[in-house]
Amino acid sequence: MKKILIVEDQEEIRELIRVTLEFDDYEIDEAADGHEGLSKLGSFKPDLILLDVMMPGGMSGLEVCRRVKADPVLKRIRVILLTARGQEADKQEGLRVGADEYLIKPFSPMELMKVIDKVLR
């Protein structure tokens, strides 16, 4: 069973993602900010992180992604950035820090599942 960590500060969006993922066979955990997300990586060991870019607490999703991909133990974890920032420069920055995919909000549940399937193949 694949494990997915949802790191998103908006509870409603976390819930929407969780409900969408529950239709498939995933083990799911959640974090409300980047610090909490990073702290869960060691114990939860996800295959994929769904990571909001803009979060409170002083650590953006870009920084979380950068740290994950720079760590020899964690770098195998796939990362999909979720953001309302849809400019090409924003997408390029996300890919530059190591994201495997970049999904622009709002997105449909079907679109999310399609991107997850692609990344986890």
Q: How confident is the model at residue 87 (pLDDT cuts 50, 70, 90)?
A: confident
- Length of the chain, please? 121
For 17-44, how does the pLDDT look when each residue is reduced to its tens digit (9 = 90+)? 999 999 898 999 999 999 999 999 989 9
For 34-77, how does the pLDDT look when each residue is reduced to its tens digit (9 = 90+)? 999 999 998 999 999 999 999 988 999 999 999 999 999 999 99
Buried b (16+ CB within 10 A) or exposed e, 82-103: bbeeeeeebbebbeebbbbbbb
* Cβ-based burial of 29 (10 A; exposed 0-12, middle 13-18, buried ≥19): middle
Pairing mode of beta strands 26-31, 101-104:
unpaired
* Residue 18 confidence (pLDDT): 97
Q: For residue 23, give every residue at least 6 positions away whose Cβ sits within 8 Å of its Cβ, in sequence order, or none.
A: none
* Residue 75 confidence (pLDDT): 96
> pTM (2 decimals)?
0.96
What does the alpha-carbon distance between residue 63 and residue 90 come to, in Å, rounded to a whole number?
14
| Residue 109 reports pLDDT greater than 90 | yes
Which domains can be identified in the chain, with CATH numbers?
2-120 (3.40.50.2300)
* Residue 115 confidence (pLDDT): 97
Find the mean pLDDT for residues 86-114.
93
* Residue 40 confidence (pLDDT): 97
* Residue 19 confidence (pLDDT): 95
Query: Rounded to a whole number, what is the distance in angstroms from the first to the last CA of the chain?
Result: 13
